[in-house]
Structure 1
Amino acid sequence: MARKPKGRPISGVLVLNKPGGMSSNAALQKAKRLYYAAKAGHTGSLDPLATGVLPLCFGDSTKFSQFLLDADKGYASTFRIGERTDTSDSDGEVIEAKSAAHITEALVAEQLKAFKGEISQVPSMFSALKKDGQPLYKLARQGIEVERKARQVTVYSIALLAFRPGEVAEADIAVHCSKGTYIRSIAEDLGAALGVGAHVARLHRTQAGPFTDAQAVSLETLADMRGEGEPEVLDSLLLPVDAPVAQLPSLALPEATAYYFRQGNPVMDARAFALGDEGDMVRVFDQTGVFLGIGTLADDGRVAPKRLVASNSGS
């Protein structure tokens, strides 16, 4: 008989502002303890160096975390130009230093143009990408290097926000990109293009899918709100279960139809024709506004359950 999970069966999304120097899993576990939650997961690792938007899914929301894993991301970063490190960021040791005194703002802006669009990247050994369940950065710190395949990613925009010249210059960069884009690889490649090397000195994720900095809450805020009180005081910070898929159109089913949808059966609804094409997904609610899950549209007006919310499945 399966052991009942310890903790409260709460559901929803918390947009966490991950602190620097902590792994994404450590941040998740701390938030999970503060909420005394039975089930929780994060939606794509940030490197320990990085700070910023890390959506955490509790309970039923974990069923929709893949949508956030696949979502576009936004970053604000500072590159130090003139120094290469063994980790491509400021956590590592400087392995090469060259004067960047001749590097200008115009030159950096010009070189950044090459990184816009679809580009190929080889993930750093000091990234959070996993190999056999282990983050690469943990293997790298043991002196282990494994082969990494180049991957195609898309940089939708990359902008130079500020430039500070000097023997070691600094450039503040904003990037909007597809999932799997490594900012440290952009810094490394930019430094190579400039001929003096570069690394990431600061990395902050400003956006993950629909979630932004403005919604993010720190672990300190959670701890202060909780204090010596009960974990329920934190529940007001949770976004709805369907927040990861809020961009999808919605369909409210009448009571009889909602019953069959909950059981995992496709249902017919004439309004489905106006919501999209065959294969498109929709959020499905009952007539009282309770979220049932997501469904896939068929060309005959049917909506087939794709992922149901367990607490509303009728099981």
Structure 2
Amino acid sequence: MDGIIVINKHPGPTSTRIVEKVRRLLKTKKAGHLGTLDPMAKGVLPICLGKATKLTPFLMDREKEYLATIKLGVVTDTYDKEGTILEEREVPTTTREKVEEILKDFTGEIEQIPPMFSAARYKGKRLYQLARKGEVVERKPKKVTVHELSCLEVNLPYIKIFIRCGKGVYIRQLAHDVGERLGCGGVLWDLVRTKACGFTLDEAVTLDELKEMTLEERQKLVIPMAQAVKDSPALVLAGRLRWWVAMGNPLVTTPAELGVDEIKEGMLVRLIDQEGELVAMGEMIASPEGTWLCHPRRVFHAS
């Protein structure tokens, strides 16, 4: 079974635990998720099955969207509601307009310091492993991109915000920083991921729903690999071209063959056979002769 199934995660279990349960329910040997959701979080958790685990590098960089509720006036060691309360402060009167103004400073390319309670590594160990021992280590800030931030609701002590961002953004850290800017502290109280790597809640199924289905019904929910990367143009491999690409050889192609107005350096292309199966993901590179070559970056199905 090769493809992607989208799970609507419920609060409680880790993302790794969900993957293991799905792997067993679909009776596949290999499975992996496309971005961790904290145990308290819910929403879209895409899980790659079988050969689709090799698609991860082509999907992980895609945008994610969240609905986050922040409770003001509270600071915890984990930056969310499940942590130990370190401080409680009075919540000042604030407006949606004021929150919007603050959110502007967290939009675009920003630097975030990974929280101690996170899966980031320090000298080979996860930060949360050190944090549970009471250790605090120096963490280097990393650059991440927040494409859009907006305040949806202010109902003190809670504020609700929408986030559209790239990979690697810590929403708990964002909640903490917004709370500090408002002068009263804040923790992540509720988090729903509504979109991840091109997949939405509309495509998602809960684990409980999956358990109630037959194996055949579950398999029907698996999104084929070629469809999972459908935003990339496709090049159909006729005859021996399938074998040629499966051996890792490049192809000369044109915008017309790809169905695009123009080709850009580094553009990703789906290389599919006449049955619609994804043979490989290719990358467009200009040749010295002025033609465009599609180089297979990852081959999924050998000849």
TM-score normalised by the chain length of structure 1? 0.88
In percent, how many aligned pairs have the same letter?
A: 38
Pick closer, same or farther for the CA change 1:213–1:27 going to 2, 3 Å: same
Partner amino acid, structure 2, of 1:57: C
Q: In structure 1, what is the equivalent of residue 179 of structure 2?
A: 191
Equivalent residues in 2 for 1:36-185, closer than 5 Å: 36-131=27-122, 134-165=125-156, 169-185=157-173
The structural deviation recorded for 1:134 is 4.9
Partner amino acid, structure 1, of 2:80: D
CA contact (8 A) 1:155 1:176 kept: yes
Q: In structure 1, what is the equivalent of residue 282 of structure 2?
A: 295
**Which residue of 268, 283, 287 corresponds with 2:252?**
268
Partner amino acid, structure 2, of 1:206: T
Between the two proteins, the alignment pairs up a number of residues equal to: 296
Measured in 2, the distance between the counterparts of 1:244 and 1:149 equals 34
The structural deviation recorded for 1:131 is 4.2
Moved more, 123-132 or 66-75: 123-132
The structural deviation recorded for 1:225 is 1.2
**Which residue of 249, 262, 274 corresponds with 2:233?**
249
Pick closer, same or farther for the CA change 1:264–1:115 going to 2, 3 Å: same
The structural deviation recorded for 1:182 is 1.0
The structural deviation recorded for 1:273 is 9.7
Moved more, 198-207 or 61-70: 61-70
CA contact (8 A) 1:61 1:242 kept: no
String of CA shifts for 1:33-70, please: whole Å, max 9, x gaps.
Answer: 11111111111211112111111000111111122222
The structural deviation recorded for 1:296 is 2.1
Partner amino acid, structure 1, of 2:267: D
The structural deviation recorded for 1:32 is 0.6
Measured in 2, the distance between the counterparts of 1:125 and 1:96 equals 17
Partner amino acid, structure 2, of 1:60: K
Moved more, 119-128 or 135-144: 135-144
Measured in 1, the distance between the counterparts of 2:259 and 2:60 equals 29
- Residue 13 of structure 2 aligns to a residue in which SS? coil
Moved more, 287-296 or 11-20: 287-296
TM-score normalised by the chain length of structure 2? 0.91
Partner amino acid, structure 2, of 1:313: A
Measured in 1, the distance between the counterparts of 2:209 and 2:123 equals 35
Partner amino acid, structure 2, of 1:175: I
Pick closer, same or farther for the CA change 1:184–1:213 going to 2, 3 Å: same
Equivalent residues in 2 for 1:217-256, closer than 5 Å: 217-226=205-214, 231-256=215-240
Moved more, 217-226 or 122-131: 122-131
Pick closer, same or farther for the CA change 1:23–1:292 going to 2, 3 Å: same
CA contact (8 A) 2:233 2:258 kept: no
- Residue 242 of structure 1 aligns to a residue in which SS? helix
Equivalent residues in 2 for 1:1-16, closer than 5 Å: 10-16=1-7
Moved more, 266-275 or 208-217: 266-275
Measured in 2, the distance between the counterparts of 1:178 and 1:71 equals 6
String of CA shifts for 1:144-180, please: whole Å, max 9, x gaps.
Answer: 3333210111211111111112xxx100111001111
RMSD: 1.9
Partner amino acid, structure 2, of 1:247: D
Measured in 1, the distance between the counterparts of 2:13 and 2:128 equals 13
Pick closer, same or farther for the CA change 1:66–1:133 going to 2, 3 Å: farther
User: Which runs of no fewer than 5 residues in structure 1 stay unpaired?
Assistant: 1-9
String of CA shifts for 1:83-103, please: whole Å, max 9, x gaps.
Answer: 111111000122111111423
- Residue 157 of structure 1 aligns to a residue in which SS? strand
- Residue 225 of structure 1 aligns to a residue in which SS? coil
Measured in 2, the distance between the counterparts of 1:173 and 1:52 equals 16
The structural deviation recorded for 1:303 is 2.4
